[in-house]
Amino acid sequence: MSSQPVRIVLVGDRTDGVTAHRAIPIALARAAHDAERVVDAQWLHTASLGPEMAARLADADGVWCVPGSPYANMDAALAAIGFARRSGVPFLGTCAGFQHAIIEYARSVLGLTDAEHAESNPMAARPLITALSCSLVEVEGRVHLAQGSRLRAIYGADEATEAYHCNYGLDPRHAERFAHATMRITAHDDDGAARGIELTDHPFFVATLFQPERAALAGRSHPVINAFVAAAAGMADRRHAARTRVGSRTA
C-alpha cells in the first residue's frame, strides 16, 4: 500500500437528505479498500467557493462534482469543473455533475457562452440541459457504451444497468454539437439519449447522468468509482515523485 493519501474534493451542497450524498463516502471507502490506498475526501459547498477556489483545489488529486442541483453557486461549480478540465486533474461528475460538465465545456470550449441549465434558469435562451421527456427518479435503465471509449474499457463490457435520480439531461437537439468535439458522448440509453460523456484529451474526465455511487448502498464496488480513485491515486503518486525529485536537487 502506498503511504501517499489521495485527496479528493467533492464539489456540491451536501445534505443527508440526498441519497447519493450518503452513498458517496461509502463508495469512496470501497474504492480505497480495493485500491489499497488512503482516500482523504473533503466536501466543498458551492456557496463556500469564491475567488480563493483555485487555492482550495490546488492540492486535489481528484475532483468529483456531485449530485444535488440546483447548486447554491452554479458559477462556482462550473469553475471547479473548468479547473479540473484545464489542469488535467482526474474528474468525475455524476448526475448534476454530468449536466454542469456539459455546460462548462459548451461555454468555455464550444463558445456557447449563453449555454444554460433549464432548472436554474427556466427562461434561458439556450438551455442545453432541459427536462427529460421521462423522469428518471429512482429508476434503473440500460446504458450502451461506445466502442473505444474509456467508459467501455472501465466496464469491460458494452452495456450496463445503472441507477438514476434525475429529471434533467442534455437536450437531444444539441447532441450533434459533441459529435466532433473533444468532449464525446460515450454512453447512451436504449433510445440514444446521452447518459455519459468523457474528454478525449484529458487523463481522466468522465461524467454520467446515472449515479454509480449508489452501488455502494447495495454493498458493491463500482468500476467507474474505482477507476476514478485509481486515476486520482496516480496523480497523488506523480506529485509525490515530483516533490521528491525537487527535494533531492535542493538538498
1: in domain: no
40: in domain: yes
- In three-state secondary structure terms, 184 is strand
CB distance 19 to 214 below 8 Å: yes
200: in domain: yes
123: in domain: yes
Of all residues in the chain, the percent with pLDDT exceeding 90 is 86
238: in domain: yes
- In three-state secondary structure terms, 187 is strand
Provide the pLDDT for residue 1: 59
Give the separation between CA 12 and CA 102, rounded to whole angstroms. Answer: 16
- In three-state secondary structure terms, 133 is strand
* Full residue range of the structural domain in which residue 144 is found: 6-250
Provide the pLDDT for residue 65: 98
153: in domain: yes
187: in domain: yes
List the grid coordinates of 196: 455519459
Helix axes 96-108, 74-87, angle to 10 degrees: 70
The CA–CA distances, whole Å, from 70 to 22, 33, 86, 227 equal 18, 32, 24, 27
Helix axes 223-250, 19-35, angle to 10 degrees: 60
Give the separation between CA 33 and CA 248, rounded to whole angstroms. Answer: 32
- Output the CA angle 198-199-205, nearest 5 degrees: 70
Give the DSSP letter string of 53-109: HHHHHTT-SEEEE-S-SSPTTHHHHHHHHHHHHHHT--EEEETHHHHHHHHHHHHHT
Question: For residue range 142-158, what is the model confidence (pLDDT) as tens digits?
Answer: 999 999 999 999 999 99
Give the separation between CA 229 and CA 232, rounded to whole angstroms. Answer: 5
Provide the pLDDT for residue 147: 97
Give the E-state strand segments of the chain in sequence order. 6-11, 39-44, 62-65, 91-94, 115-117, 126-145, 159-170, 183-188, 194-199, 205-208
Give the separation between CA 144 and CA 147, rounded to whole angstroms. Answer: 9
Full pLDDT tens readout for the chain, 251 residues: 577 899 999 999 999 899 999 999 999 999 999 999 999 999 999 998 776 677 789 899 999 999 999 999 999 999 999 999 999 999 999 999 999 999 999 999 999 999 999 999 999 998 999 999 989 999 999 999 999 999 999 999 999 999 999 999 999 999 999 989 999 999 999 999 999 999 999 999 999 999 999 999 999 999 999 999 999 999 999 998 888 877 666 65
Phi-psi region of 192 (alpha: psi -120 to 50; beta: other; left: phi over 0): left
Query: CATH number of the domain that 15 lies in?
Result: 3.40.50.880
Q: What is the residue-averaged pLDDT of the chain? A: 94
Q: How many domains does the chain have?
A: 1
33: in domain: yes
Provide the pLDDT for residue 210: 98
Give the separation between CA 236 and CA 19, rounded to whole angstroms. Answer: 29
Provide the pLDDT for residue 250: 62
